A and B are shown apart, each in its own frame.
Chain A
Amino acid sequence: MITPHRLSVKFYFEELSVDAESFIPVFHRWIREDVVPNELLLDVADYKHILDGPAILLVGHEADYVIDFTDGKPGLLYVRKRDLGADLSNALDTTLSQALNGVKLTESDVELQGKLKLRTDGATIVLLDRLNYPNAASNGDGVNTAASAEAQLSDSLAALFGADATVARVDNDAREPLTFELRAPSAPDVDTLLSQLGTGN
């Protein structure tokens, strides 16, 4: 299926004992030390004044890393904006592996280590492309892209997160982007996931 304009994955915190502000110096250091392979990191944006929204952003050229509190659920949101790959499946691989790499960087960061933990047994996946992936029952021409995307995500994610992994479309407002919820009770840990994706170390 066609590459979406943007694709995001949010992994949720299981534990978070630092406030949003603590991520500001961390993200600045990541930029300085150029810690993310294959991505150009640009700047840090501070939106912590917004209630239950994206609080701190590490803005990059290819992707943004967001400490996100939307709906009161803190998580690390990875938004892939450019160079997603040739199709949806590629885009998902790229996004997931970079997002998981972000999870790993966050958990093992010298300033954050031991103060937070992210879980891999669930995630929210968003296709930010209302042109090609409208959040509707069908595209109007009878084609149900959402259902096809769901099937594709299910296949790809079950292969990674375990056979009992399920992907369900979120019944959100039609103006919101097409959104899926991954549940993966027997998900492996980050390192295993990364090595399965071929990007582990």
Chain B
Amino acid sequence: MSNIGWKDVLTDDMPVDLAHEIDIFEGQMELMGQGKLDEKVFAETRLRRGVYGQRYDNGQRHDGFESRELDFDEADRIKGPDTLWHAPGMQRIKVPGGGLSPEQLDVLAQVADEYSDGILHITTRQDIQLHFVHIEDTPDMMRRLAAVGITTREACGNSVRNVTCCHLSGVCRTEVFDATPYSEAFAQFLLGHDDVQDFGRKFKPAFSGCESEACGLVMMHDIGYLAQVREVDGKLKRGFKVFVGGGLGTVPHQAKVLSEFTSEEEMLPLVQAVARVFARLGEKRNRNRARIKFLVAKLGIDEFRRLVEEERKTLPHDDRWTAYLDTLPQYEEKPAKPPTFLNGQVHSAEFNQWFETNVYSQRQEGYSVVTVNLPLGDLTSKQTWELADVARKYVGDNVRATVEQNIVLRWVSDSDLPSLYEELKAIGLGDSGAGTIVDITACPGTDTCKLGIASSRGLAGELRTRLTAKSASLPDAIKDLKIKISGCFNSCGQHHVSDIGFFGNSRRSGNFKMPHFQVVLGGRWRDNAGSYGLAVGAVPSKTVPEVVDIITNRYIDERAKGETFQDWIGRIGKKEARGMIQPFMQLPAFEQEPDYFSDWGDPRVFSLGDIGIGECAGEVVSLFSMEISPAESEAFEAQIALDENDPARADALAYSSMLKAARALVRTQFLDVGDSPDRIVEEFKSRFFDTELFFDQYAKGKFGQYLLDRHQNPNPNPDNDSAHRLIEEALLFIEATHACESKVGGNVLVEI
């Protein structure tokens, strides 16, 4: 029994390509363990599978008095630059559009309690994160997720990140049409696509069904799609207004219009052209300027658009551009129950309160969307499978994670609402106040993020507790304000687009540092993150609850009838706004207020000593390095197959590893080589073999010949000897590929 692993048990349940990718990743882990893989290449490889670093993984932790070494075993073993192998990490799990089925929830809950700390965390981009995960557990975790159709591929790293989509798409009262199947087709098309492997930075897409609501947050994304219908030749056509170059971070950018209308047929080729332009011209050396927003700003949107249009003309045709359209008519969500209505029965005050804030009446009569308000985006494994059962009973597969770190149950038949509420309450998930001032968003911050400066989660928890305690008496004017908190200027908590936003920083008082939050006021969540807030000054972390009171009270007192928070901030101006928080900017000395010198939920005396080098930017390594690495891993797997007395598999893997290596080399000159072995070998031969570029000084064409021979004359019955020989040849071939690449250099500009 001991030799059977998840890999064996789940063979038939995993999609073959996912299973193979995970095997390759496991092989790369093995090679890394043997010191045979470059640390940066491995770091980027794992990041592209969602395997992220976590705070203290450089082996240092400040205990409030001094920085201490964390004494992990095998201290010289690493999983990336300055990142210890055994230090726990974060696993990001990509959830396109936030869509989850009960079956997926079940498995997520199980991997969370076996491999992390039993808590699932919903992120601000509809992903799920698990923390404190050991890297050695990740391949099995990925297998278990793959078996229920979840991939972690490209959840991090310099690639296309999770494709987000409004959680109300399809049931929304204001949408033009349901963007969900488009976002799914988009995500599928780009996942692992050749043209998205060579970005200098991450690339975040978002889809939205309408312009005025917030859910899609199109304006703050690298690329964003707003559903539109146009009359073309007398017929109504679906398509999108396409935005490009938005983003938060230190310097937030509003996206620019790339195209007023891109038809559904052109959606995929257009993004492919954008990807190519970004890969070719985007900044690679300076990570701080590598997002597409900087390229768009540098070139100007008109020039950028021209380049994209030019690129579009050169793209080789791909049937997948339009193939997805045939599947659209079949796309539908099935409610678990027929529509019904809430009769006039009297309900408890508690239910009514929950109904007011957590229930959205769908476009489809008799159905509602229920928001499960998760404190700080967290739920336990146990709650997760309990929630899965609630979903099975009331809504089936219609579950989505939201960018406000909640989960929604869609297609709840209205008369079920009271019993659903009771069931959610029984599992500790019945909090009301979804989307209101108590429903605070926070990034991971100093809890787990290497870049965190102040405790965004600690502060969010504190504000939530205090505001919930007085929520019944909060005036309507402020009930619906949004508070969003980031632990540093990188803005993962999306503070720029909240009414009252905060991001962590620090100030000195005497000899000590004091955790602070910069106050950012008046951002606009609606209109797809329509405008960004105003930074007015930094206050000590411990004063923030009071600062929130001062600001909200002043707004209540001063606002004109119907005046929104944004308008009010606009009216009073930055100077006045700063005046409100000025009194908190006088810093007490340590002896006066020692409590100010530690953060929320963390009694250690505050320090910046734990800030590490974040992995958000990924590692900039060449496309070739990224593509040759799986080849090496496959050659390694071939050796294992041989050890296991499976020469046929060993032979196939060795051959495939040579093809991968050749393909990587060909793609330094010709990106569109495709996947067909004949084509790869043909291109390899004409570009590198016949030109003698591949030739070794002494061995000449010998190594290249190995691939040509194996390709022309496959061995129908490989035995151990022949497979062994082929593996040796594959290893030499891969070496020669490296040598050739460094001799010739690709035309893909990158640096390590």
Contacts and interface: CB of A to CB of B under 8 A. Distances in A.
Interface of A: 2, 5-6, 21, 24-25, 28, 31-32, 40, 42-54, 57, 59, 61, 64, 70, 81-82, 128-132, 143, 173, 175-177
A177 B110 CA distance: 8
Interface stretch (B61-69, B310-318, B552-560, B634-642): B61-69
Given A24-B601, A70-B382, A132-B1, A49 B86 contact: no
Contacts of B86: 61
B469 to A, nearest CB: 13
13 contacts: A25-B603, A28-B64, A32-B68, A40-B70, A40-B72, A43-B55, A49-B465, A50-B119, A53-B380, A54-B380, A82-B134, A128-B114, A129-B114
Kindly list the 8 A-B residue pairs having the minimum CB-CB distance in the complex, ordered from nearest: A51-B428, A49-B375, A53-B380, A32-B63, A25-B603, A46-B601, A175-B385, A49-B461
Given A42-B70, A45-B447, A5 B110 contact: no
Nearest to B610: A43
B385 A49 contact: no
B9 interface: yes
B118 A46 contact: no
B680 interface: no
A190 B70 CA distance: 30
B64 A47 contact: no
B447 A46 contact: yes
Say what secondary structure dominates the interface of chain A: loop
Interface string B1-22: 1101110010000000000000
B277 interface: no
B287 interface: no
A54 to B, nearest CB: 6
B376 A42 contact: no
Contact of A50 (B68, B113, B379, B601): B379
Given A42-B70, A175-B109, A175-B385, A49 B458 contact: no
Contacts of B56: 42-43
Contacts of A143: 1
Contact of A131 (B5, B71, B72, B119): B5
A53 B114 CA distance: 16
Q: How large is the interface on B (under 10, 10 to 19, 20 to 34, 35 or more residues)?
A: 35 or more
Contacts of A129: 114
B64 A32 contact: yes
B114 A130 contact: yes
Given A2-B1, A52-B428, A24 B602 contact: yes
Interface of B: 1-2, 4-6, 9, 55-56, 61, 63-65, 68, 70-72, 86, 88, 106, 109-110, 113-114, 117-119, 131-132, 134, 375-376, 378-380, 382-383, 385, 428, 447, 457-458, 461, 464-465, 601-604
B119 A47 contact: yes
A173 B385 contact: yes
Contact of B6 (A53, A64, A70, A131): A131
Say what secondary structure dominates the interface of chain B: mixed
Contacts of B65: 32
Contacts of B382: 53, 70, 176
Contact of B428 (A2, A48, A53): A53
Q: Which of B56, B134, B376, B382 has the largest count of A CB atoms less than 10 A from its CB?
A: B382
Given A40-B70, A50-B428, A177 B378 contact: no
B375 A50 contact: yes
Given A24-B601, A24-B602, A176-B385, A57 B63 contact: no
B22 to A, nearest CB: 16
Contacts of B113: 128, 177
A47 B70 contact: no
Contacts of B55: 43
A31 B378 CA distance: 25
Nearest to A2: B2
A43 B90 CA distance: 14
Contacts of B604: 28
A23 to B, nearest CB: 11
Nearest to A32: B63
A74 B382 CA distance: 16
A57 B114 contact: no
Contacts of B118: 54
A57 B9 CA distance: 32
Nearest to B107: A175
A64 B602 CA distance: 18
A21 B64 CA distance: 18
A89 to B, nearest CB: 15
A119 to B, nearest CB: 23
Contact of B464 (A49, A61, A82): A49
A32 B65 CA distance: 9
B69 to A, nearest CB: 10
